[in-house]
Chains A and B, each alone.
Chain A
Amino acid sequence: MPDYSLVPVDYQPDFGGYSLVPVDYDPFAADGLAQQAQIQQPPTPAQPAQPQPQPQQPATGAGQPGVTGPATGNSPSGSGGGAGVGNAGIGPSNTTWAQGGAPAFTPLDGYANPTPTESLVNQAQKEPKKVQVDLVTADSSADRGSSDIHQKIVDRASVQIGSGDWHFNVAKGNFGPNKDKCNLFVYDMLTDAGASPGLPNGHWWNPYPPTAENWADPSFAIPGWRVLGSGESPQPGDVVGQRIQWENGATGHVMIVGPNATFIGVGTSEKIESVAPKTMGGIYPDPKTRPGGLLVYRRYEH
């Protein structure tokens, strides 16, 4: 990484007219985040960067802010899994997203705006040790079985940050070299964590995992993975997909929702990266030319 600040202070992307999140509010834009970030609480005592067995933290229930957040469960298409009703997890006031000085996000129709003082990529890279802290707190509202899976997903994905195993020009599984593998990474992490989305594509003798486009299509049923409904907020361990039709035929991008308001997946470097949520489509000054559909989140529920 370059050793200089790369964030133009006056850079204000225009995201007007776009809504990428098919839920009512941006979970990464809670007011509390900014406040927490400014307070700069001392980091929680040394947490290892590597995944650890999940500590047996008691669910705090009603005392935990945000755990009873809105959960209308109205899936955009009425398909794609369960009803989406129940504990939605982290609500707008929940501070778990902000632990460790998470960056302040500005709600811009589903986009997160970078803080003017430092690249969020840099911040995310400085915060790998917060992974376990946030997860422990974040899963306190859900049933333990699902939470274990969600944590495992994040654990598995976090361990791979920096890995080039899913690089475009590396062969992996039945994906040869010079092929996109963002969906293969997600599939591998989910399967390793016990939440396989199945292999819906291809032939039975040579099947393939869901594509990014599949993940981003609310009407495409992925067993065990329901589409988050309106009012639900993404949690670590969820999957986010976006359909983007690129000129070379690629159909979108898919990543895993990580802790501290991050996405984990194949990044611009082709290695596994942890990045702050942003338009999956990328850098488009002109909204009219910005490709990409809604961000569609899914959650594993068995």
Chain B
Amino acid sequence: MPRTLIWLLLCSGCVFGCCTGAAAAGPSSGSETGSLSEAGRYQAYAGNVIALDRLDQASLTVSVYSYLGSERFQKLVDASVESPELCIRFLSEKKYTEGQRRIAILAMYKLSIDQYVSFVGNLAKLRDKALISPEELQHALFPRFSVDMIYENYEDKRIRLLLGEMEARDDIRPDLKSEIARILSGEALEERRRFYRECCSVLH
């Protein structure tokens, strides 16, 4: 009996150890925060968002595109790709400012399609709990720096399923619902391509 008990304790210790090890080791690949614990990684992430927001205001950035060239922002982007759940957790906490939350969403622009679909799905759940605003959900749905990805992949089943779910929601603006319908039909991509051909060139 004591031997069985010891064995059980050892096993549970192994399992626990493996879990924590996985949690710690998961993000370590290619990340400077890799050696940090889950909590530490989140704190580092949140700290980066806050610092970026401060830097933004201190340096008087005048265009949203300014973030793209910021090394600190790119670190945030990398962390977001590596662990999208960091942003989800960040947004689920009410203590952060609107500007900080906006930066966190902006940094999600390099997600894969799978990551993007999962991220927006999770944000819809946060929205259902009133933890994020409708605008934040819409900004996540149409990522500022990579929105073309949605238009160009409108035939992808994952994208179509997500857009269909979003279109059915009550908290998506009517004009964006119309845009979703146009995306799903392929019309929006065609129009978008025409826009970029014509908006910036003298054609007449």
Q: Pick from B139, B192, B198: contact of A202, CB below 8 A.
A: B198
Contact B68–A2 (Cβ < 8 Å)? no
Q: Considering the chains assembled together, what is the distance between the CA atoms of A190 and B116 in angstroms?
A: 39
Task: Find residues 143-202 in chain B having any chain A CB closer than 8 Å to their own CB.
Answer: 144-148, 151, 175-176, 179, 188, 191-192, 195-196, 198-202
Known A200-B202, A282-B69: A2·B99 in contact at CB below 8 Å: yes
Beta-carbon contact of B60 and A275 below 8 Å: yes
Which B residues are CB-close (under 8 A) to A275? Answer: 60-62
Which of B53, B72, B201 contacts A201, CB < 8 Å? B201
The answer to whether B97 has its CB under 8 Å from any CB of chain A is: yes
Q: Is B203 an interface residue when CB atoms closer than 8 A count as contact? A: yes
| Partner pick for B97 among A2, A263, A281, CB 8 A cutoff | A2
Contact bitstring A287-302, B, C-beta under 8 A = 1, else 0: 0011100000000000
Residues in A whose Cβ lies below 8 Å from that of B198? 201-203, 206, 208
A211 at the interface (CB under 8 A from B): yes
Chain A residue contacts of B69, Cβ below 8 A: 281-284, 289-291
Residues of B within 8 A of A2 (CB): 53, 57, 97, 99-100
Residues of B contacting A284 in the complex (Cβ-Cβ under 8 angstroms): 69-71
- Residue of B62, B139, B204 near A255 (CB, 8 A) is B62
| Distance between A152 CB and nearest chain B CB, rounded to angstroms | 23
Q: Is the interface of A mostly helix, strand, loop or mixed?
A: loop
Q: Which residues of A contact B147 (CB under 8 A)?
A: 178
- Known interface pairs A169-B138, A169-B176, A202-B204. Does A282 touch B53 (Cβ–Cβ under 8 Å)? no
Contacts of A134 in B (CB 8 A): none
Question: B148 to chain A: which residues have CB within 8 Å?
Answer: 248
A266 touches B63 (CB 8 A): yes
B55 engages A283 (CB within 8 Å): yes
The binding surface of chain B is classed by DSSP as helix
Contact partner of B60 among A114, A178, A251, A255, CB < 8 A? A114
> What's the tally of chain B residues with a CB closer than 8 Å to chain A?
49
B70 to A, closest residue via Cβ? A283
Distance A270 CA – B63 CA, assembled complex (angstroms)? 8
Q: Which partner residue on chain A sits nearest B145 by CB separation?
A: A248
Q: Which B residues are CB-close (under 8 A) to A249?
A: 196
State whether A7 and B58 are in contact (beta carbons under 8 Å apart), knowing that A250-B65, A282-B65 are contacts in the complex.
Answer: yes
Least CB distance from B186 to A in Å reads: 15
Could you give, for residues 87-110 of chain A, a 1 whenever the CB lies within 8 Å of some chain B CB and a 0 otherwise? 000000000000000000000000
Q: For residue B63, which residue of chain A has the nearest CB?
A: A253
Chain B minimum-CB-distance residue to A112: B60
Interface residues on A, range: 35 or more
User: Of A114, A169, A204, which is within 8 A of B59 by CB?
Assistant: A114
Contact of A6 among B58, B65, B71 (CB under 8 A): B58
A-B contact pairs, 21 of them (CB 8 A): A2-B97, A6-B53, A7-B57, A8-B54, A114-B59, A178-B151, A201-B199, A202-B198, A202-B204, A203-B203, A244-B63, A263-B62, A268-B62, A268-B66, A269-B64, A270-B64, A275-B60, A282-B63, A283-B55, A283-B56, A283-B66
Which of B's residues lie within 8 Å of A, judged by CB?
Answer: 53-73, 97, 99-100, 102, 138-139, 142, 144-148, 151, 175-176, 179, 188, 191-192, 195-196, 198-204
- Given A208-B199, A213-B200; 14 other pairs, CB 8 A cutoff: A176-B191, A176-B192, A201-B199, A202-B204, A244-B63, A246-B65, A248-B148, A270-B64, A278-B59, A278-B60, A283-B56, A283-B66, A283-B73, A284-B70
| Partner-B contacts on A (CB < 8 A) | 1-2, 6-8, 11, 13, 112, 114, 119-122, 168-171, 175-179, 182, 200-204, 206-208, 211, 213, 244, 246-251, 253, 255, 263, 265-270, 273, 275-286, 289-291
